Amino acid sequence: STLDRSSAASDVYKRQAYLPQFREVNNGVLAGMANERADKEYPGLYWRTLDFDEHYPGGESPREFYDRISAAWGDLVTSVRGSGKDAALVTHGGVINVIMHIVDGMPYSNQTPSFCIGNAEYTAVEVQAHSCCVLFRNACRISATHAA
């Protein structure tokens, strides 16, 4: 991610590559807009109110977001599987939410939250020969003191 909070966290892991396909949802013209202004200009337009194929103005739909993350996750799993190496992915809660649905074999919906992913949490997923499994989720907050 290019957002400061994610790039700072990735420094802990000595980031080796930037993977733009794991960016958070593209909320188009609402990106960076103050909530008060967004509520005034786009009343009632929230991630959880979008239909699965409905786009943010100038952005992506929940289906496009899911498809992007699903494809990126599949590519990452394929590259890690059998490599004998570990990988760390530093990304956003929405992305992790999609990945958790994929790993758990659950249908994904932007309108029904299944996993509560907070800021600076981490989730460990083990990539096995023919499957993936969540080893643990932790609400540990990464701080500057942990980065040293």
What CA–CA distance (Å, rounded) separates 50 from 109? 10
Instruction: Please state the pTM of the whole predicted model.
Output: 0.80
In tens, the pLDDT along 63-99 reads 999 999 999 999 999 888 878 788 888 888 899 999 9
pLDDT band at 52 (very low <50, low <70, confident <90, very high): very high
Give the pLDDT mean for 95-123: 86
| Selected residue with higher pLDDT from 68 and 129 | 68
